[in-house]
């Protein structure tokens, strides 16, 4: 009988792509996998493209601020708990792996009620609200970086693993990206990426300085769904995409530097690929401040150049780009000394410790 794993997590690509890397690895081992996510979140499209069972549940958002929507959220959460309980009872997995996000909370709680062990992963320097609430129901926790361990006093263990990264991201080919973009090798290339949902302020600022940028650089702009500017579609040296899947590794391979938000998974990928970068964290007005913490940690190490959103102007962004390009070789060397790798195998071993499949367990013990 095949071992079974249920994966959960959603709300942004950062809560999904590490799961995708793990799913790919477990499918190679003939392990049965399924995914519980939201009804219409980005995880639904990404996971369904992998041709594995996907179950959408109702999810309430656990907000930190006052809003009339709080009235409805408890009912959504209760319904999500009800759905999760019966899904897990039907699937009967040996283990649940949670990457976080609000959709994961009912899955984690109902797994605990059915005595199904849960392994969770926290990417940020400080835990998100969903993971904070889920901690009492989790057996083991994987984290990205050692400083995050102080927030988890957990009897079963906290494992500093890093983030699982999909193989396609690590096997990028710059020549394929040149064909895809129509670029050449005469100018360096900047990639702008604001996360799976895009970043309106970054998009606007980059486009406002685009004529100046294109004098010296080529620009790949991953702007988020619905954010394509049709007036710029045929601009020489500029390519915009709503979202990039398997080709993202190729675009990274072509890029000499990256302008990015500082979500933990995006940052881990930049560090692993040794891509010099300017980080523009989400402000505390728009988030809990986790991106600011992530960026500050690597800014102190002299690895990341950080530009706060409130300080972002045409001039400060251009200055940040020029500074990173000037220090590019030194920044690459610093990132390479971190020795970061995809954590797929490390996290996989933690999950495998709960699998009851004889074939999988033998493989885990002998490796």
Contact 103, 36 (CB under 8 A): yes
Confidence at residue 364, expressed as pLDDT on a 0 to 100 scale: 42
Confidence at residue 358, expressed as pLDDT on a 0 to 100 scale: 43
Angle at 90 between CA 84 and CA 91, to 5 degrees: 90
Q: Domain 168-338, CATH 3.40.50.2000 — does that match?
A: yes
Which CATH number does the domain 4-164+342-366 belong to among 3.40.50.2000, 3.40.50.300, 3.30.70.1230, 3.40.640.10? 3.40.50.2000
Euclidean distance between CA atoms 270 and 335, whole angstroms: 9
Q: CATH topology of 4-164+342-366 equal to that of 168-338?
A: yes
Confidence at residue 367, expressed as pLDDT on a 0 to 100 scale: 41
Please state the domain extents for the chain. Answer: 4-164+342-366, 168-338
Three-class secondary structure assignment of the chain: CCCEEEEECCCCHHHCHHHHHHHHHHHHCCCEEEEEEECCCHHHHHHHCCCCCEEEECCCCCCCCCCHHHHCHHHHHHHHHHHHHHHHHHHCCCEEEECCCCCHHHHHHHHHHCCCCEEEEECCCCCCHHHHHHHHHCCEEEECCHHHHHHCCCCCCEEECCCCCCHHHHCCCHHHHHHHHCCCCCCCEEEEECCCCCCHHHHHHHHHCHHHHHHHCEEEEECCCCCCCHHHCCCCCEEEECCCCCCHHHHHHHCCEEEECCCHHHHHHHHHHCCCEEECCCCCCCCCCHHHHHHHHHHHCCCCEECCHHHCCHHHHHHHHHHHHHCHHHHHHHHHHHCCCCCHHHHHHHHHCCCCCHHHHHHHHHC
pLDDT tens for the chain, 367 residues long, are 678 999 999 887 788 999 999 999 999 999 999 999 999 888 998 999 999 999 999 886 655 545 545 566 777 788 889 999 999 999 999 999 999 888 999 999 999 999 999 999 998 888 877 788 888 899 999 998 888 888 887 667 899 999 999 999 999 999 999 999 999 999 999 999 986 555 889 999 999 999 999 999 999 999 988 899 999 999 999 999 998 888 999 999 999 999 999 988 899 999 999 999 999 998 877 667 789 999 999 999 999 999 999 999 999 999 999 999 999 999 999 999 999 999 999 999 999 999 864 444 444 443 4
Confidence at residue 69, expressed as pLDDT on a 0 to 100 scale: 56
Residue burial 34-43, b: 16+ Cβ < 10 Å; e: rest:
bbbbbeebbb
Euclidean distance between CA atoms 292 and 280, whole angstroms: 9
Confidence at residue 157, expressed as pLDDT on a 0 to 100 scale: 85
Q: What tokens were used for 257?
A: 């530097």
* Token pair 């002998």: residue: 366
Neighbours of 61 (CB within 10 A): 17
Euclidean distance between CA atoms 131 and 104, whole angstroms: 9
Sign of the Cα torsion 186, 192, 193, 197 reads negative
């Amino acid at each position: 009988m095949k071992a079974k794993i249920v994966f959960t997590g959603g709300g942004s690509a950062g809560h999904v792509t590490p799961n995708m890397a793990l799913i790919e690895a477990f499918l190679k081992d003939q392990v049965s996998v399924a995914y519980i996510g939201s009804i219409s979140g980005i995880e639904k499209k990404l996971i369904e493209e992998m041709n594995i069972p996907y179950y959408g549940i109702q999810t309430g958002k656990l907000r930190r601020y006052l809003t009339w929507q709080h009235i409805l959220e408890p009912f959504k959460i209760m319904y999500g708990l009800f759905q999760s309980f019966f899904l897990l009872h039907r699937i009967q997995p040996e283990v649940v792996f949670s990457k976080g996000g609000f959709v994961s909370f009912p899955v984690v709680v109902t797994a605990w009620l059915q005595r199904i062990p849960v392994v969770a992963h926290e990417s940020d320097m400080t835990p998100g609200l969903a993971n904070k609430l889920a901690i009492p129901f989790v057996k083991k926790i994987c984290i990205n970086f050692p400083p995050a361990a102080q927030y988890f006093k957990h009897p079963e263990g906290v494992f500093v693993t890093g983030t699982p990264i999909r193989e396609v991201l690590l096997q990028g080919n710059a020549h394929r990206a040149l064909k895809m973009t129509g670029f050449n090798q005469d100018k360096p290339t900047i990639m702008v990426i604001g996360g799976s949902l895009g970043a309106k302020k970054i998009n606007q600022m980059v486009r406002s300085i685009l004529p100046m940028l294109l004098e010296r650089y080529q620009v790949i702009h991953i702007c988020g769904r619905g954010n394509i500017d049709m007036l710029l579609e045929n601009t020489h040296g500029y390519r915009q995409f709503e979202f990039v899947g398997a080709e993202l590794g190729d675009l990274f391979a072509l890029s000499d530097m990256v302008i990015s938000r500082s979500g933990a998974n995006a940052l881990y990928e930049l560090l692993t690929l040794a891509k010099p970068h300017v980080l523009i964290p989400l402000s505390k007005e728009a988030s809990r401040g986790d991106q600011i913490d992530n960026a500050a940690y690597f800014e102190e190490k002299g690895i990341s150049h950080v530009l706060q959103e409130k300080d972002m102007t045409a001039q400060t962004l251009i200055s940040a780009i020029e500074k990173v390009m000037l220090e590019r070789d030194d920044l690459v060397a610093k990132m390479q000394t971190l020795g970061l790798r995809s954590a797929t195998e490390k996290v996989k071993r933690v999950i495998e410790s709960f699998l009851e499949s004889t074939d999988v367990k033998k493989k885990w013990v002998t490796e």
